[in-house]
């Protein structure tokens, strides 16, 4: 499970920002807190904020870190091409434009009976990796132990098997992460960390292009396994009981490369007062139905593996009740048996409720006049009188009147006003 994610000098976030999923000392919904070793971890984090305040950049930062971990073994030593890979820093300051960007996570690995906590991170600038580290802490230990560390002058791999060290030393380039290369070389510890990142899922529904393509994804086994399709029907029954089945037909190949596995999906809807079905091509279903279909494959994966599901704009094209039902899936320990987590951005204030979320599960992003974004939790928020937010407050009402910040500053749209 993700315990904490830290990042610095990434897009609109100039300073170090922390998304903390460890549970604060509070009483509401204590039954949903997951205890692993000495850690108490939350299953959900909801991120609110005005447009262009930095919500999507939190999502983007974790996605970037994950992709770099998984793919960097492919990166060469061509500095010009590396500039296309380097993360975008905070560009509104000469000091940060060419400074390094840092990413760091604290996490546990699903199924680890030892219940170790891992701390992994790296820093990257225009030339490549400037620092990388991996530490671990046993369940009974108070401090972390170093597995490996590198910077411009040091490469200490003493926590990895001896037989693997020389291979990494020979092949490691400045743009490549030890974790990524080690996983490629089948070093068990490196592969274990890399696989944790692989087990997380991402969906950006704020991007129209991405949103369009994810609608074409099929759940694993959907084509060949009737049981999988039956589970998808049960999933749809939570919001549309008229869908009783799906028909899957392979589209004949037109000879073009990449079209060998294209399928036509037809939703079978129960007709009123009849045993017959109305057949509706999946692409003709509502935008909300298509989005729920798009969400299913990743939801299936993270619930089975215990990963983290990051979603940008969860509320787009979905009724608030559907969004709430989706969130409740992660909050229900009888369904979420592998302790999967959901981190999502949204404008849906209906979910901003003390009947659904703990104060430490609610986060806000705000951007100041210098274009600097900040990330903060409702649990840490202190009002003008120096008091913390109470659990019985109306979070939605107070947010919309500006008590917590993170809302747009609005002016009258007088463009069309007659002079």
Provide the pLDDT for residue 385. Answer: 75
* Same domain (yes/no): 12, 64: yes
* Same domain (yes/no): 23, 56: yes
* Same domain (yes/no): 132, 264: no
Asked whether residue 208 is assigned to any structural domain, the reply reads no
Provide the pLDDT for residue 220. Answer: 81
Asked whether residue 261 is assigned to any structural domain, the reply reads yes
Q: Distances in Å between the alpha carbon of 112 and those of 60, 321, 338?
A: 28, 35, 12
Q: Where a domain ends, among 269, 292, 315?
A: 292
- The long-range contacts involving 50-55, CB below 8 angstroms and separated by at least 24 positions, are 50/366, 50/367, 50/406, 50/407, 50/408, 51/408, 52/367, 53/365, 53/366, 53/367, 53/373, 53/406, 54/11, 54/12, 54/13, 54/365, 54/366, 54/367, 54/373, 54/374, 54/375, 55/312, 55/345, 55/365
Asked whether residue 234 is assigned to any structural domain, the reply reads yes
Would the CA dihedral through 60, 66, 70, 74 be positive or negative?
positive
Residue 168 in tokens: 């990494």
Asked whether residue 260 is assigned to any structural domain, the reply reads yes
Q: Contact at 8 Å (CB) between 379 and 28? A: no
Give the domain range for residue 158.
2-200+307-400
* Same domain (yes/no): 320, 278: no
Asked whether residue 302 is assigned to any structural domain, the reply reads no
Asked whether residue 262 is assigned to any structural domain, the reply reads yes
User: Which residues, including other chains, have CB under 8 Å from residue 205's CB and lie 6 or more apart?
Assistant: 211, 214, 291, 311, 312, 313, 314, 316, 317
Asked whether residue 417 is assigned to any structural domain, the reply reads no
* Same domain (yes/no): 286, 312: no
* Same domain (yes/no): 254, 360: no
* Same domain (yes/no): 255, 194: no
* Same domain (yes/no): 236, 178: no
CB atoms within 10 A of CB 395: 23
- The CATH number of whichever domain residue 100 belongs to comes to 3.40.50
Asked whether residue 24 is assigned to any structural domain, the reply reads yes
Number of domains in the chain: 2
Q: Where a domain ends, among 251, 269, 292?
A: 292
CB atoms within 10 A of CB 193: 25
* Same domain (yes/no): 130, 29: yes
Provide the residue-wise pLDDT of the chain in tens; the chain has 419 residues.
999 999 999 999 999 999 999 999 998 999 999 999 999 999 999 999 988 999 999 999 999 999 999 999 988 765 555 667 889 999 999 999 999 999 999 999 999 999 999 999 999 998 899 999 999 999 989 999 999 999 999 999 999 999 999 999 999 999 999 999 999 999 999 999 999 999 999 998 877 666 666 666 778 888 888 888 899 998 888 777 888 999 988 888 665 555 567 888 899 998 888 888 999 988 888 888 888 888 888 999 999 999 999 999 998 888 888 899 999 999 999 999 999 999 999 999 999 999 999 999 999 999 999 999 999 999 988 877 778 889 999 999 999 988 888 776 655 556 556 65
* Same domain (yes/no): 179, 286: no
| Alpha carbon distance 153, 239 (integer Å) | 57
* Same domain (yes/no): 244, 164: no
* Same domain (yes/no): 268, 320: no
């Amino acid at each position: 499970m993700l315990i904490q994610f830290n990042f610095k000098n990434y897009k609109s976030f100039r300073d170090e920002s922390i998304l903390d999923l460890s549970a604060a000392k509070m009483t509401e919904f204590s039954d949903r807190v997951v205890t692993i070793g000495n850690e108490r971890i939350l299953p959900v984090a909801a991120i609110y904020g005005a447009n262009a305040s930095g919500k999507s950049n939190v999502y983007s930062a974790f996605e970037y870190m994950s992709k770099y971990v998984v793919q960097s073994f492919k990166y060469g030593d061509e500095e010009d091409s590396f500039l296309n890979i380097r993360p975008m820093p905070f560009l509104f300051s000469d000091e940060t434009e060419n400074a390094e960007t840092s990413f760091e996570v604290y996490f546990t690995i699903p199924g680890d009976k030892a219940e170790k906590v891992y701390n992994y991170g790296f820093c990257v600038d225009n030339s490549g990796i400037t620092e990388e580290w991996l530490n671990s802490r046993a369940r009974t230990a108070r401090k972390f132990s170093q597995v490996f560390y590198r910077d411009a002058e040091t490469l200490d791999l003493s926590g990895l098997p001896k037989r693997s060290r020389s291979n990494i030393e020979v092949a490691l380039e400045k743009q490549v992460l030890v974790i990524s290369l080690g996983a490629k070389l089948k070093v068990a510890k490196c592969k274990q960390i890399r696989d944790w990142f692989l087990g997380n899922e991402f969906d950006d529904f704020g991007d129209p292009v991405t949103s369009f393509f994810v609608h074409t994804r099929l759940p694993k086994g959907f084509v060949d396994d009737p049981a999988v399709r039956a589970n998808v029907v049960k999933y749809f029954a939570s919001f549309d009981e008229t869908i009783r089945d799906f028909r899957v037909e392979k589209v004949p190949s037109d000879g073009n490369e990449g079209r060998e596995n294209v399928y036509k999906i037809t939703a079978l809807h129960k007709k009123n007062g009849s045993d017959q079905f109305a057949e509706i091509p999946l692409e003709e279903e509502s935008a909300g139905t298509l989005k729920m279909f798009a969400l299913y494959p990743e939801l299936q994966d993270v619930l089975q593996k215990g990963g983290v599901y990051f979603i940008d704009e969860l509320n787009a094209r979905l009724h608030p009740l559907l969004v709430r039902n989706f969130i409740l899936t992660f909050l229900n320990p009888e369904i979420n048996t592998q302790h999967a987590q959901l981190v999502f951005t949204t404008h849906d204030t209906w979910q901003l409720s003390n009947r659904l979320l703990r104060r430490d599960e609610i986060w806000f992003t705000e951007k100041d006049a210098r274009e600097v974004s900040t990330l903060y939790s409702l649990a840490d928020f202190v009002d003008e009188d120096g008091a913390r937010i109470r659990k019985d407050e109306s979070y939605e009402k107070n947010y919309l009147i500006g008590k917590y910040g993170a809302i747009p500053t609005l002016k009258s749209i007088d463009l069309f006003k007659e002079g």
